[in-house]
A and B are shown apart, each in its own frame.
Chain A
Amino acid sequence: AQTVTQSQPEMSVQEAETVTLSCTYDTSENNYYLFWYKQPPSRQMILVIRQEAYKQQNATENRFSVNFQKAAKSFSLKISDSQLGDTAMYFCAFMKAPQGGSEKLVFGKGTKLTVNP
């Protein structure tokens, strides 16, 4: 079974600064995807960024980037130039590579990020 661990229950950052959220995972799979999802207060979860395990290059999406260390089973999210709208719960998630069956997501417990003005 796969597990995802987020060791930072809460974090805060000043607007315009950079913050890094940590995530580690455990799996015996070789092909998989890792994700960061954002869940703003009282709003639905949205995908922030995705990383395929077979890709060595770290994924980036505008101000969001990841540091994927496959051997260490580590997958951190860096948010640059933090904005007030980044305030949310952030979940790290794992999915086995699609093989025709369920593509269920396994989530960590989340990190509550607050961006302060």
Chain B
Amino acid sequence: DTGVSQNPRHKITKRGQNVTFRCDPISEHNRLYWYRQTLGQGPEFLTYFQNEAQLEKSRLLSDRFSAERPKGSFSTLEIQRTEQGDSAMYLCASSFSGTGYNEQFFGPGTRLTVL
């Protein structure tokens, strides 16, 4: 296993278009997180899955955003009717839920540019 992967790595779209990103976590990891990182800022939590269940969503996740993890493996993040303010790096992280601390491993991110 080579770690968390994200596709595409870069996406340029026009305002108003829909975009979808994919995250493939480390295979045995049952937890999956999405974060958003804008220029000059640290990553901000968007949402979290345990297996296929979406258990927490940030208020940053507007109605235009939807995330799924249909079989508890890969996850998709869709943004509808993109706005220029959606331009950011979207990071995915995965972890295994055991007792105590569980390290999150990050993917390389998908950089979204909305023109």
Contact = CB atoms under 8 A, between A and B. Distances in A.
Contacts of A102: 33, 45, 48, 55-56
Interface stretch (A14-22, A45-53, A59-67, A69-77): A45-53
Given A52-B101, A102-B56, A103-B95, A43 B42 contact: no
Chain B interface SS verdict (over half): loop
Given A44-B106, A44-B108, A45-B106, A33 B101 contact: yes
Contacts, number: 56
A43 B102 contact: no
Contacts of B91: 45
Bin the interface of chain B by size.
20 to 34
B104 A44 contact: no
Interface residues of A, number: 23
Interface of A: 4, 6, 33, 43-47, 50, 52, 91, 93, 98, 101-110
Interface of B: 3-4, 31, 33, 35, 40-45, 48, 55-56, 91, 95, 100-104, 106-109
